[in-house]
Amino acid sequence: MERVNLLDFDLDGLTAYCAELGEKRFRAVQLFRWIHQKGEARFDRMSDLARSLRDKLELVAEVRPLSILSEHASADGTIKWLYDVGQGNAIEAVFIPEDDRGTLCISSQAGCAVGCRFCSTGHQGFSRNLSTGEIVAQLWQTEHHLRQRLALPAGQRAITNVVMMGMGEPLQNYSALLPALRTMLDDHGYGLSRRRVTVSTSGVVPMIERLRDDCPVALAVSLHAPTDALRDQLVPLNRKYPLAELLRSCSAYLDKAPRDFITFEYCMLEGVNDQPEHAAALVALVTGRGGAVRVPCKFNLIPFNPFPASGLRRSSKEQVMSFARILQDAGIVTTVRKTRGDDIDAACGQLAGEVQDRTNAQQRMTRSVIRVVPTSAAS
């Protein structure tokens, strides 16, 4: 019988599971704190849990870590882990340290079905959704590993921010995402503020609405184009949820969001979406002059990370800066994403880029090998 993975539960889920074992809620709280706050996976070390509960858990449950295929540390402090999630699939998490925060970028799916043109994950195809336990394990393992590695004093967190911007479209894996978010926010878990947990979506409109009602955290939307005609080509999901609908859902999201703006991500592609007329059209779009609803927002311009199959090129620095100026002159806060972890393929859109095409997963599995190309220089 497969053991129950306790990382699959938020606190309510763990309470229900403990009730099945004949235990009260306060036992679930103790267990949840041992796992998430102290990083403990061994029941025999959970000293204040009743021995009878520890004995039961030993028989039926576990705290299941992901198995690490590789770890790469960049000269700038960024660390990328590649995890094996079975059947030839790999996912990645990336830790990005800054002076005042530590951000972990987490994956929600093995591969991605959205197929954005500029994204190397999208080009690999979709394998499967991650479970809640696999999403949470990325945070659980990294947080407790880094606390030890950085010799942090008791009570100090290594990870202060989480962004769901790794592999996958998180809102297409909503049922697993929701308990994972709740675990991140729970004071008995990681206690992260809603402002410091960001879900990034390519625009799954009905799920943006559900997230607003169920668990409003900070929202980032991959916009990448100011018109439906262009966005249809870059983000195929736009054909289902066009810009006007997307902006309406963004505006409604702000009613309950922890921040008073939406972050729009915009990948800068030379000659495709980086011209002055694109910037002007974006200004018209988000200020409501384009006929869509006005959305208070910030823009994050992302230098494209080229990969051979894309047929696209990175916009020049000058082009990015003059594009940013047009947005800024219109009063829109605009930043240009610093590229971090370039030397380890950890930049946006490069996640698991060195794992070969996902459509060959079965073939790789039969060889029991996931090919990882050493990265000495390199979503």
Q: Which residues are catalytic?
A: 92, 348
Phi-psi region of 314 (alpha: psi -120 to 50; beta: other; left: phi over 0): beta
Site string for ligand SF4, 168-187 (x = CB under 6 A): xx------------------
Which amino acid type is present at position 60? V
Q: In this complex, which beta carbon is closest to ligand SF4, that of residue 53 or of residue 199? A: 199
The Cα 347–Cα 214 span in angstroms is 30
In the numeric block, which tokens belong to residue 28? 């679930």
Among 15, 37, 121, 350, binds ligand SF4 (CB under 6 A): 121
Among 18, 53, 105, 116, binds ligand SF4 (CB under 6 A): 116
How far apart, in Å, are the Cα atoms of 89 and each of 95, 109, 118, 206? 21, 10, 21, 28
Instruction: Determine whether 104 is exposed, middle or buried from the number of CB atoms within 10 Å of its CB (0-12, 13-18, 19+).
Output: buried
CB 349, min distance to ligand SF4, A: 6
Site string for ligand SF4, 122-141 (x = CB under 6 A): x-------------------
Q: In this complex, which beta carbon is closest to ligand SF4, that of residue 168 or of residue 226? A: 168
- The angle, 0 to 180 degrees and rounded to 10, between the axes of the packed helices 11-20 and 25-36 is 130
Which residues within the stretch 201-220 sit at the binding site for ligand SF4 (CB under 6 A)? 202
Residue 231 phi/psi, 5° resolution? -65, -30
Gyration radius (Cα) of the chain, Å = 21
Q: In this complex, which beta carbon is closest to ligand SF4, that of residue 28 or of residue 217? A: 217
The Cα 248–Cα 131 span in angstroms is 30
Eight-state DSSP code of residue 222: E
Among 114, 207, 219, 312, binds ligand SF4 (CB under 6 A): 114
353: contact with ligand SF4 by CB under 6 A: no
Size of the site for ligand SF4 (CB under 6 A): 12
Site string for ligand SF4, 72-111 (x = CB under 6 A): ----------------------------------------
User: Which of the ranges 51-59, 116-124, 205-213, 296-304 carries the binding residues for ligand SF4, by CB under 6 A?
Assistant: 116-124
E-state strands within the chain: 4-5, 61-62, 67-73, 79-84, 90-98, 101-105, 109-111, 126-129, 161-164, 197-201, 218-222, 262-268, 297-303, 333-336
Residue nearest to ligand SF4 (CB): 122
Among 78, 222, 238, 263, binds ligand SF4 (CB under 6 A): 222
Among 88, 115, 189, 216, binds ligand SF4 (CB under 6 A): 115
- DSSP codes, 310-375: G---BPPHHHHHHHHHHHHHTT-EEEEPPP-SGGGT-STT-TTTTS--GGGHHHHHHTT-------
Among 18, 63, 119, 361, binds ligand SF4 (CB under 6 A): 119
CA dihedral 10, 16, 17, 19 (to 10 degrees): 140
User: Which of the ranges 4-12, 74-82, 127-135, 167-175 carries the binding residues for ligand SF4, by CB under 6 A?
Assistant: 167-175
CB 122, min distance to ligand SF4, A: 3
Which residues within the stretch 19-48 sit at the binding site for ligand SF4 (CB under 6 A)? none
Residues in the site for ligand SF4, rule: CB under 6 A? 112, 114-116, 119, 121-122, 167-169, 202, 222
